[in-house]
Amino acid sequence: MKNFKGSLFYLGLLVFLVFAMLAFTGCGGEDAVDEPDGVDTDDEVPGESVLRVALQTNPNTIEPATGDTRTASNVAWSIFNSLVWLNDEGVVVPSLAESWEISDDGLVYTFKLREDVVFHNGYPFTADDVVFTWERGQGSDITYREDFLAIAEMVKTDDYTVEARLDAPNAFILLLMNEHWGILSQQYHEEVGEEGYLQNPVGTGPFKFVEWRAGDRIVLEAFEDYWEEGYPKVDRVIYRPIPDTSTRFAALVNDDIDIVSNLGPEQADAVVAADGVSLVTYGQDRVYYVTFNNMSTGIGTPIEDKLVRQAMSYAIDYDAIIDRLFDGYAERVSGFIIPGNLGHDPSVTPYPYDPDKARELLADAGYPDGFAIEMAGPSETYTNFEQVLQAVAGYWAEIGIDVDLQFMESGMFWDLQANRELTPLFGDSWSSSTGEAYPRLIGSVGGEDASYAAWLDPVLVDMVKEVEMTADSIERAEVYTRILKYMFEDPPFIYLYAPTAFEAINDRVKNYNPRISEQYYLKGVSVE
Amino acid sequence: MRYLLSKLLYSIALLLGVLFLVFLLLHITGDPVSLMVSRHATPADIEALREELGFNRPLLVQFGDFLTSAIQGDFGNSFRYRQPAMDLVIQRIPATIELASVALLMAILMGVTIGILGGSNPNTILDSIARGIGLLGQTIPTFWLGLILIIIFSLNLGWFPSFGRETFTFLGLTLPNKSIILPAFALSLFTTGQLARFTRSAVMEVMNEDYVTTARSKGLKKKRIYFNYILKNSAIPLISIIGVQFSYLLSGSIYIETIFSWPGLGNLLAEAVSTRDFFLVQATAFFTSLVVIGLQFFTDLIYALVDPRIRYR
């Protein structure tokens, strides 16, 4: 037993070492507060209100024109302002422009700028910065350059007035500006260059940039000279990227984080059950669909027949798919213009599940025994989407349509889609972030130039063009409603569902209002 | 000398092979261009960008290009981050080294202890427990374990933060605080199991050696036999295992880093792969394979130095 004693000695040493390490690391954490040179943003300063926000992905940049995800632009809009802002009610209101006028022909927008605005580094905001932002936005490396190219010319008429000139009327100019036009300081950009600007961004927004530790955190603090009276409501914002959904949930419940987004339905019930946190849900502005392809491989197949497409729409038990694959957390949609979008008409109700009617229509179209067709989908790209497409194929098999379903890696899938080499049917999704269905429509049925389009219908192309030309939002709503009805009657797509977004907040957080586009602004959010 | 040279050449060939494989796997599935353009882009725009970035050239030419600039230290720019890929990798290295080091330390302390306890008391209950822990450590899926640890030690006990790397400054160094304990523990468990099993069999083998029996029969003190004869001789094969395990820890932490949101290389690699950020994937793969192959090389060297029987002429 002497050996055993020797090992006990070793074990004692081990225990001692582990405790020493724990003590060392533990105490170290507390010492840091007293460290004069401690770059320690981890510890909260007493009396300071801090908002801790979880991010699903790492932003590539935190500047609105180059940030390539919704996550990135959400951070960016804490730092930047545009000339206009789409408020929580969906109305375009003044921001850095205090007013604007639109010429009668709709070709010239004259913006009168605020004169009391400064950038975070103290540089004044003038018309030069607006013109510069427009020029820089057209660079080939700018992710959203289309939004800047939409304006043919940007002219400074005096220090606080600019004129945006268009080649053709465009109903969306103000919405585009709200999306990606974060106004940059020309003077600062000249000093630090593009790369320097992106690494140390300076804007006019409610929060100023403090620190970005790669993969770890982005720290912002309230901008004391912010032009909008009474904002922001917290002293500091700390964004933490947490890629894993379960960890995001744990961080919220553990009070390490105040706001989490992109939770799954499996966490929703757990959030409801947990103390001190609340669930925030809303339908996302994204439509999942199966498209019919009459621009390439689908030419000459039965799907060119309207009755066949209607039959296929009737053949699917959408509610069962939503119940079984999403625990009921998704909305049926009747088209690409969904509830919450301008021009949505609730009288157009989604296709019901009616297999008998489907068989009847199929027989009317001349295919009583069905037919065989190919369908493709991206793998591991959207939640449960493979299972959805498998279910869809199963329902079609029941009315005699034999679907050869193939999944491919998403990059390859989108390559083939852009090259118009995909199958006669394929599943995908399309989102919109403007509150209107226009981006979805122009991209998918906008005509030959739209590279991801698979369906060509000249009537539809003209109607989508009409949307673009109609500046008045009430008239535009009517056009949208016409499109909704047309696309329901003669469906270019199988409209599957719009997903539900799950977010959760600590109960201390007040006034957090994410939008259906998964956009949120933190300037009005407070912590009690 | 010849031994050293052949090992070195072998290491370089291996590194090239790994890089080529990574390159091939990335390009076989298409290129990132379709993800880089907006959905309003026309097919002509996409082709133009492909041309500009050189993705329309033959694969071997692209690989040759990559190697030529990589030798000069240029690994290309990350598409997403608009920064040199190697800079992004270097930013993440400290976090991964910290995690791997603490995990290795934990694994050595736990694994070797368990192994010695089991090995020096063969076929007792203690031994069974030690073997059980060894087996468990190697078979528990790390991502599952990570979540369980978060639930127990963060949510229920509240001892540790649930994610992330919190730091403090000590003597001008930025070091992680207790936030490293959970991820390091989760990461260390596989190695712990490996070391426990290995130490156990090494100790058992040495205990039956003639020189130990001789020492015993001469009436040497048990403690002396234990430390001078048994442990010392069991340690030799352990060195190579520890070297291999350290390289494993440095490269194999994708799951752990993602679950604990630890800002290291694994986290970066997972993100780069999912966004098809080719140059970033290649730079990360280069660095991790360099570390793994390099450590293997040095382990071989140390092994040769420690064990006088290894001499290649």
Token digits of residue B24 = 């091939």
What's the confidence (pLDDT) of residue B73? 82
What's the confidence (pLDDT) of residue B169? 79
Averaged pLDDT of chain A = 88
Closest by CA to A41, choosing from B224, B90, B168, B164, is: B168
More confident residue, A31 or B192: B192
Q: Coil, strand or helix: which one is A263?
A: strand
CB contact under 8 A, A35 and B169: yes
**Contact present, A337 and A435 (Cβ < 8 Å):** no
**Contact present, A450 and A434 (Cβ < 8 Å):** no
| CB of B127 less than 8 A from some CB of A | no
What's the confidence (pLDDT) of residue B13? 92
Q: State the Cα–Cα distance between residues A336 and A353, nearest whole angstrom.
A: 19
Q: CA of A142, closest CA in chain B: separation in Å? A: 10
**Nearest by CB to B178, which of A18, A25, A39?**
A25
Q: What is the pLDDT of residues A432-441, one digit of tens each?
A: 877 789 989 9
Strand partners, A509: A527
Which residues numbered 63-122 in A keep a CB inside 8 Å of some CB on B? Answer: 66, 68
Q: CA of B17, closest CA in chain A: separation in Å? A: 25
**Contact present, B45 and A157 (Cβ < 8 Å):** no
| CB of A143 less than 8 A from some CB of B | yes
What's the confidence (pLDDT) of residue B40? 59
DSSP string across A389-449: HHHHHHHHHHTT-EEEEEEEEHHHHHHHHHTT-S-SEEEEEEE-SSSSSHHHHHHHHS-TT
What's the confidence (pLDDT) of residue A39? 41
DSSP string across A310-349: HHHHHT--HHHHHHHHHTT-EE--SSSS-TTSTT--TTSP
Residue B277 φ/ψ, nearest 5 degrees: -85, 80
Which chain A positions have a beta carbon within 8 Å of B83's beta carbon?
195
**Contact present, A380 and A336 (Cβ < 8 Å):** no
Q: In chain B, what is the straight-line distance between the N-terminal and C-terminal CA atoms, in Å?
A: 8
Mean pLDDT of A310-338: 93
- What contacts B19, CB < 8 A, 6 or more positions away? B67, B282, B285, B286, B289
Taken as a whole, chain A contains a residue count of 528
**Nearest by CB to A451, which of B42, B166, B174?**
B42
Q: State the Cα–Cα distance between residues B188 and B140, nearest whole angstrom.
A: 12
More confident residue, A391 or A9: A391
Residue B3 is given by DSSP the state: H
| CB of B148 less than 8 A from some CB of A | no
Q: Which amino acid is at B125?
A: I
CB contact under 8 A, A412 and B167: no
Q: Residue B307: which pLDDT band, with cuts at 50, 70 and 90?
A: low
| CB of A449 less than 8 A from some CB of B | yes
Q: In chain A, what is the straight-line distance between the N-terminal and C-terminal CA atoms, in Å?
A: 62
**Contact present, A456 and A292 (Cβ < 8 Å):** no
Q: Residue A22: which pLDDT band, with cuts at 50, 70 and 90?
A: very low
Q: Coil, strand or helix: which one is A3?
A: helix
CB contact under 8 A, B168 and A141: no
Q: State the Cα–Cα distance between residues A225 and A39, nearest whole angstrom.
A: 24
Mean pLDDT of B221-228: 76
What's the confidence (pLDDT) of residue B226? 76
**Nearest by CB to A10, which of B38, B116, B177?**
B116
Q: State the Cα–Cα distance between residues B260 and B148, nearest whole angstrom.
A: 12
pTM for the structure as a whole:
0.81
DSSP string across B228-258: IIIIHHHHHHHHHHHHHHHHHHHH--HHHHH
Token digits of residue A498 = 């719009």
Q: Coil, strand or helix: which one is B82?
A: coil
Q: CA of A514, closest CA in chain B: separation in Å? A: 24
What's the confidence (pLDDT) of residue B24? 87
């909704």: which residue's tokens? A484
Mean pLDDT of B236-241: 77
Closest by CA to A421, choosing from A330, A301, A298, is: A298
CB contact under 8 A, B258 and A419: no
More confident residue, A510 or B46: A510
Rg (alpha carbons) of chain A, rounded to whole number: 27
Which residues numbered 213-252 in A keep a CB inside 8 Å of some CB on B? Answer: 213-217, 240-244, 246-247, 250-251
Q: State the Cα–Cα distance between residues A70 and A6, nearest whole angstrom.
A: 60
More confident residue, A380 or A150: A150
What does DSSP say about strands A161-165 and A153-158: parallel, antiparallel, or unpaired?
antiparallel
CB contact under 8 A, B46 and A451: yes
Q: CA of A392, closest CA in chain B: separation in Å? A: 26
Q: What is the pLDDT of residues B6-57, one digit of tens each?
A: 888 988 999 999 889 988 888 876 677 766 666 556 667 777 778 877 777 8
Token digits of residue A368 = 């009583």
Mean pLDDT of B142-169: 88
Q: What is the pLDDT of residues A476-498, one digit of tens each?
A: 899 999 999 999 999 999 999 99
**Nearest by CB to A419, which of B43, B45, B105?**
B43
Q: What percent of chain A has pLDDT over 70?
A: 91
**Contact present, B199 and B112 (Cβ < 8 Å):** yes
CB contact under 8 A, B167 and A246: no
CB contact under 8 A, B178 and A26: yes
**Contact present, B256 and B262 (Cβ < 8 Å):** yes
Asked whether the predicted pLDDT for residue A306 surpasses 50, the reply is: yes
Taken as a whole, chain B contains a residue count of 313
**Nearest by CB to A32, which of B30, B120, B168?**
B168
What's the confidence (pLDDT) of residue B311? 57
Q: State the Cα–Cα distance between residues A444 and A440, nearest whole angstrom.
A: 6
What's the confidence (pLDDT) of residue A124? 96
Q: CA of B260, closest CA in chain A: separation in Å? A: 7
What's the confidence (pLDDT) of residue A6? 45
What's the confidence (pLDDT) of residue A78? 96
Residue A506 φ/ψ, nearest 5 degrees: -70, 145
Mean pLDDT of B149-174: 86
What's the confidence (pLDDT) of residue A413? 87
The dihedral sign for the CA sequence B256, B261, B263, B266? positive
Which chain A positions have a beta carbon within 8 Å of B164's beta carbon?
216-217, 240, 242, 256
Q: Residue B1: which pLDDT band, with cuts at 50, 70 and 90?
A: low
Asked whether the predicted pLDDT for residue B228 surpasses 60, the reply is: yes
Token digits of residue A239 = 């964004």
CB contact under 8 A, A6 and B270: no
Which chain B positions have a beta carbon within 8 Å of A3's beta carbon?
120-121, 222, 226
| CB of B258 less than 8 A from some CB of A | yes
Closest by CA to A112, choosing from A161, A71, A67, is: A161
Q: CA of B288, closest CA in chain A: separation in Å? A: 18
Q: State the Cα–Cα distance between residues B85 and B76, nearest whole angstrom.
A: 6
Which chain A residue shows the shortest CA-CA distance from B262? A216
Mean pLDDT of B61-82: 86
DSSP string across B152-207: IIIIIS--S-SSS--EEEETTEEEE-GGGHHHHHHHHHHHHHHHHHHHHHHHHHHH
Q: CA of A418, closest CA in chain B: separation in Å? A: 6
């582990």: which residue's tokens? A18
What's the confidence (pLDDT) of residue A34? 37
**Contact present, A172 and A434 (Cβ < 8 Å):** yes
CB contact under 8 A, A254 and B155: yes
CB contact under 8 A, B263 and A214: yes
Asked whether the predicted pLDDT for residue B63 surpasses 80, the reply is: yes
What's the confidence (pLDDT) of residue B144? 87
What's the confidence (pLDDT) of residue A495? 97
More confident residue, A526 or A431: A526
**Contact present, A78 and A220 (Cβ < 8 Å):** yes
Q: What percent of chain B has pLDDT over 70?
A: 93
